[in-house]
Structure 1
Amino acid sequence: MSGRLKGRRILITGAASGIGRATAELFAAEGAGLALLDRDQTGLAGLSGTAVAVDVADEVSVRQAVAAAADALGGIDGLVNAAGIFPVAKLQDTDLALWQQTMAVNLTGPFLMTKAVLPHLRAAEAATIVNLGSGSALLPYAELSAYGATKGGVAVLSKVWAAELAPKIRVNLVCPGMTRTRMVSDWHPDPEKLADRAKQTYALQRIAEPEEIAHAILFLTSAESSFVTGTTLVVDGGRTFH
């Protein structure tokens, strides 16, 4: 690797699996110091960095986790909000508890994390925030009202924060399409049917690997994107042509 993040101190939520874990592996290879936050501490095994338990929907837990991360790293230069859940339910099957849980993790979580990290980012040089959105925020699927609403909210928040926190802090959004993660396999457990669906709706006729999304997050965290803020980088194999 080329050391594109050498000397940078990055906090990643949802680092135990999927896109978050792939991002943690790539960032470590690129020389970053990492604080890896997740509820699933066993899933962080084998990763390079400081493991910190957190419930991103709980303000006290978030504050404690950020303080521990900043102490371990000696500061924080960047944040990747990758933690999230992916409930699939029709409107009539989406009860209030499911709706509120999805909002708490996918929308309130990035808000709490970003607010808690903000003083550290303001003290850093070339600070960055990368939020994980979704192609569902651009071209929604049926049966994803709660999930799509949260990702649409994150998309708007990212632009608001980009305007508000400039020029000190850059804020950008990555919107993945379907990616080969545990969340997607739980939703669509038959690989052949998933492949057929991708061929019908994706220009590249396949779903993404987590590492492909991680490389987009790397670009927006590195100095290579130094004049980029408030953007939505769509990494969806051509499903939305956004």
Structure 2
Amino acid sequence: MNQKYNASESLNTKAPVMLVTGSAKRIGAAIVKSAHNQGYRVIIHCHRSEQEANTLANELNKIRVGSAVIIVSDLAVVNDSAALEQFVQTIMQAFGQLDVLVHNASRFYPTPLNNINHAQWDELFLTNAKAPLLLSQALLPYLKNQRGCIISLLDIHAHDKPFSNYAVYSMAKAAHRMMVQSLALEMAPNVRVNGVAPGVNILPETNSDQALDDVQQRRIIDSIPMQRIGQPDDIAHAVLYLAQANYVTGEIITVDGGRSLTLTGGS
């Protein structure tokens, strides 16, 4: 386990605090920036993207001194009760409170049938189901103190429309979806729990094993009623709405340009 905490004293000790897991780049970073723009103090969590996290924190702290901190940790920390407790204390040392917990960190890759192994199962379920549940449980007392909320990033394939060759990922996200609905009941009325289900709101990085060629991108765009790939900010706007929607719990907002209307599952 590797944890790192980096903070400076915030000038505004009354601003709400948001923690976003896996938020050094891409959609997570967009959520952090949007929250910061609305006056939140932000905790940027990362595992392997420490350089990007530092760059983001420095950018935000130039806007408001002491308004952003980073925490570096593998989410496998949830597998050890003592390590998890230390992780929670590190989170709470940042600003002394927590108002919004956003589960954004996620691993995503195919697991074709006949090649599925224990390591894939463990990794995909860790980031997409187990860590969100155990971290929510561990942080509940602090969220309850603030009458705060939890927001989970899900997937349009997590509900009745599985993605071919991604059985383990789809199963894990489906479990995460049920977590949102279950915890919304169990944590009410003190903590609200909601989710956002993106469609194609960001393409895989061009240098990754998930990169898409021009033909694949065109096929995806043609399947979206809005006829364009979404933007990370589209997800961030939904997250910020849920963070402030005081009478909404147990809901999952789909942000996919209408893709769910044409989606039948499969490839």
Task: Output the TM-score relative to the length of structure 1.
Answer: 0.90
Taking the TM superposition and a 5 Å limit, the aligned residue runs for 1:177-196 are 177-182=199-204, 186=208, 188-196=210-218
Structure 1 pair 56–165 and aligned structure 2 pair: CA distance change class (3 A): same
Please give the root-mean-square deviation of Cα atoms over the aligned residues, in Å.
Answer: 1.9
1:67-117 CA distance string (max 9 Å, x none)? 112111111111000000001131222222111211112111101211121
Aligned length: 234
Give yes or no for contact 2:153–2:197 (8 Å, CA) kept in 1. yes
User: SS of 2:173's equivalent?
Assistant: helix
- Of 13, 21, 33, the residue aligned with 1:13 is 21
Give the C-alpha shift of residue 191 in structure 1. Answer: 4.9
In structure 1, list runs of 5 or more residues that go unmatched.
1-5
Give the C-alpha shift of residue 189 in structure 1. Answer: 2.2
- Of 205, 214, 219, the residue aligned with 1:197 is 219
Give the C-alpha shift of residue 187 in structure 1. Answer: 5.2
Distance in 2 of aligned mates of 1:34 and 1:147: 28
User: SS of 1:50's equivalent?
Assistant: strand
Give the C-alpha shift of residue 22 in structure 1. Answer: 0.9
Give the C-alpha shift of residue 194 in structure 1. Answer: 3.7
State the partner residue of 1:111: 133
Give yes or no for contact 2:157–2:170 (8 Å, CA) kept in 1. yes
State the partner residue of 2:236: 214
1:211-238 CA distance string (max 9 Å, x none)? 111111111112xx11110001011111
State the partner residue of 1:54: 73
In structure 2, list runs of 5 or more residues that go unmatched.
1-13, 61-67
- Of 147, 166, 181, the residue aligned with 1:144 is 166
Distance in 2 of aligned mates of 1:71 and 1:110: 20
1:161-216 CA distance string (max 9 Å, x none)? 00111111110011001222546873542352243122332111222111111111
Give the C-alpha shift of residue 46 in structure 1. Answer: 2.5
State the partner residue of 1:238: 258
Distance in 1 of aligned mates of 2:206 and 2:237: 19
Taking the TM superposition and a 5 Å limit, the aligned residue runs for 1:78-117 are 78-117=100-139
Code of the aligned partner of 2:46: D
Code of the aligned partner of 1:134: D
Distance in 1 of aligned mates of 2:206 and 2:249: 29
Stretch deviating more after TM superposition (195-204 or 227-236):
195-204
Structure 1 pair 196–134 and aligned structure 2 pair: CA distance change class (3 A): same
Give the C-alpha shift of residue 9 in structure 1. Answer: 0.8
Code of the aligned partner of 2:51: T
Larger Rg: 2
Task: Output the TM-score relative to the length of structure 2.
Answer: 0.82
Code of the aligned partner of 1:179: N
State the partner residue of 1:43: 52
- Of 127, 134, 139, the residue aligned with 2:155 is 134
Stretch deviating more after TM superposition (155-164 or 94-103):
94-103
Code of the aligned partner of 1:108: K
1:46-72 CA distance string (max 9 Å, x none)? 223110112112224443232112111
1:112-166 CA distance string (max 9 Å, x none)? 21112111011113x1100111011122210110110011001101000001111
Distance in 2 of aligned mates of 1:25 and 1:8: 14
Structure 1 pair 107–166 and aligned structure 2 pair: CA distance change class (3 A): same
